[in-house]
Amino acid sequence: MMFSGVIALILALFVMVYFPAATILILAVIIGFNMVTYGISILILAYKAGKECN
């Protein structure tokens, strides 16, 4: 999870420096992608934990 946050910060800085006109839009896409991948990882963990209990 920390790796994902570090990558998001690096991408955000890159966008702010090289694409200042589209910063808000691109940051929203990055944050949305980060939230989706985090949610998928939680679902996978829950599925595996439920499978081990049975």
**Number of domains, the chain:** 1
Sorting pLDDT into bands at 50, 70 and 90, what band is 54? low
Cβ within 8 Å of residue 48, ≥6 positions away: none
Question: CB-based contacts of 15: which residues, under 8 Å, 6+ apart?
Answer: 22, 23, 26, 27, 30
Q: Print the domain residue range for 45.
A: 2-53
For residue 7, what pLDDT is reported? 79
Q: Is the per-residue pLDDT at 1 higher than 70?
A: no
Q: How many CB atoms are located within 10 Å of the residue 16 CB?
A: 12
The confidence score (pLDDT) of residue 43 equals 92
